[in-house]
Amino acid sequence: MNPAKPLRIGLTARLMHKPPAELGFPGKRLQYIEQSIAHWVMRQGALAFMVPSIEAGDTLVRRDVSVRRYVEALDGLILQGGADVSPISYGETALRPEWEGDRVRDLYETELIWEFLIQGKPIMGICRGCQLINVAFGGSLYQDIATQLPDVQRHVDATLYDRLDHAITFAEDGWLQHIYQGLPQGWVNSIHHQSIRRLGNDLAIEALAEDGVVEAISKKGEGFLVGVQWHPEFHPVGSALLDGGPLLAAFLAAANKTRR
């Protein structure tokens, strides 16, 4: 990486459609990023930029700015975690109202995924981002692990939040195992109640939990497109949890290789 010109990494925004009254934005939508993921990217010398959604509305007209222009200005994309992927996005209806997800965000992030792919720039999905990559490639999700896979271990605990963890096993000779220098498995946090059901087209499974739940995927063939179900930005440096450093370093190396 050229230290005189840091990489510019886009982070997709979380959308808050109805902010609580105490925030003081009645009737407005907020777009934001969580601090840990920005600092995780910046830790290896890259610059982090939030990429706002640009759907028409209010004072913005789509012809004034395009996704293509945003992608041209950036070197890579990270899809951060957050709200559920809407079942509508993979041809289903929500089994419960609380699982309806964020269809607006799905559309915004899917458009970014395809434009980054067209321009040959790397993409990494974290938690929800991993799930959305799978859906963008024609896959589907379990809307709720505990309901639809009742025999598997817990993958989310509201009380423990990022302190819930479990083991994962890397696919033998897979990309993830390669960047972790042949390590057969690791420990990761678990903060998701949805997971990959039908694998998307041209995707490969990179890691599984001990109960068979998909924990990481990648795109087959050329280009860099990876999704992990855990939050590497929440793994403390030097802890027993899988070091997120090699994952980020591989992503930034790909961004450096394809930068223009």
For residue 50, list its beta bridge partners.
11
* Phi–psi pair at 55, nearest 5 degrees: -65, 145
* Known active-site residue 130: no
Q: What is the 3-state secondary structure (H, E, C) of 66-101?
A: CHHHHHHCCCEEEECCCCCCCHHHHCCCCCCHHHCC
* Known active-site residue 155: no
Q: From 92, 15, 99, 98, select the one nearest 50 (Cα to Cα).
A: 15
Cα 134 from chain centroid? 10
Candidates 155, 192, 231, 235; catalytic one = 231
**In Å, how far are 72, 76, 78, 237 from 41, measured between CA atoms?**
19, 11, 9, 14
* Known active-site residue 127: yes
Candidates 115, 127, 155, 193; catalytic one = 127
Sign of CA dihedral 58, 61, 64, 69: positive
Candidates 109, 206, 215, 233; catalytic one = 233
What tokens were used for 18? 């109805």
Question: Would you name the residues annotated as active-site residues?
Answer: 127, 231, 233
